Chain A
Amino acid sequence: DAGVIQSPRHEVTEMGQEVTLRCKPISGHNSLFWYRQTMMRGLELLIYFNNNVPIDDSGMPEDRFSAKMPNASFSTLKIQPSEPRDSAVYFCASSLTAAVGLNTIYFGEGSWLTVV
């Protein structure tokens, strides 16, 4: 079975440009999560969706960040305009339900973003 699929794997962009990260969750999973990993802050939850509906976006750093899930098999995380401090690895993850303690979160391979 295919795991969580993210694209692009690596992106280098200039400050001020728009960045769009894409994610396809595991088929049948109802919950999708976006995490960010940096050396300073470790793994942070940015936002999660349950049945395509955003449930908690309190981790989204600021208005420059937005996420959508138009259907059960696709989600995007957009940064506009991007800044150097956004450089990080962005992970998408999915689970059967949002109650992650009852299920396991499976992560994608990550999108490595560098903003110069």
Chain B
Amino acid sequence: AQKVTQAQTEISVVEKEDVTLDCVYETRDTTYYLFWYKQPPSGELVFLIRRNSFDEQNEISGRYSWNFQKSTSSFNFTITASQVVDSAVYFCALSPNTGNQFYFGTGTSLTVIP
């Protein structure tokens, strides 16, 4: 079974705080891909990152960083020094090596308070 769990439904932080969004996945595939998407209030889904299951190196992009740990089946997303523009719903997604399906989590709504 393929499943993505984002246990945090809503998070509120004060601007400049760091925040980590959790993502736990389930899959029997040995090769798979993990994604994060951002959905700002305007509604579009914006691609943030793709990571394959063989690459456990953490990634940093500006204020964004991702921690992939196969041992715990987690792919967590940290925003450092959060800003109001970071307010959005963030989706974690899983895709097996082949096929068309994306398995999305239910999303975490992040509100950054000025």
Question: Chain A residues in contact with chain B, CB under 8 A?
Answer: 31, 33, 42-43, 45, 48, 55-56, 89, 91, 93, 98-102, 104-110, 112
- Determine the distance from Cα of A33 to Cα of B44 in the docked complex, in whole angstroms: 15
Contact A107 B100 (CB under 8 A): no
Any A CB within 8 A of the CB of B72: no
Main secondary structure of the interface of A (DSSP, over half): strand
Give the shortest distance, in Å, between B43 (CB) and chain A (any CB): 5
- List B contacts of A55 (CB < 8 A): 100
Question: Chain B residues in contact with chain A, CB under 8 A?
Answer: 31-33, 35, 37, 42-47, 50, 52, 91, 95-102, 104-107
Q: Could you jot down 26 A-B contacts, CB within 8 Å?
A: A31-B100, A33-B100, A42-B105, A43-B102, A45-B100, A45-B102, A56-B100, A89-B43, A98-B99, A99-B97, A99-B98, A100-B33, A100-B95, A100-B99, A101-B32, A101-B52, A101-B96, A101-B97, A101-B98, A101-B99, A104-B47, A105-B102, A109-B43, A109-B44, A110-B44, A112-B43
Give the shortest distance, in Å, between B1 (CB) and chain A (any CB): 16
- List B contacts of A109 (CB < 8 A): 42-44
- List B contacts of A108 (CB < 8 A): 44
Contact A48 B100 (CB under 8 A): yes
Identify the closest chain A residue to B106 (Cβ): A42
A43-B91, A45-B102, A48-B100 known; A101 and B42 CB under 8 Å? no
Contact A42 B99 (CB under 8 A): no
Contact A99 B99 (CB under 8 A): yes
* Additional A-B contact list (10), CB under 8 Å, known A43-B91, A100-B95, A109-B44: A42-B106, A42-B107, A43-B102, A43-B104, A45-B100, A91-B45, A100-B100, A101-B97, A101-B98, A104-B35
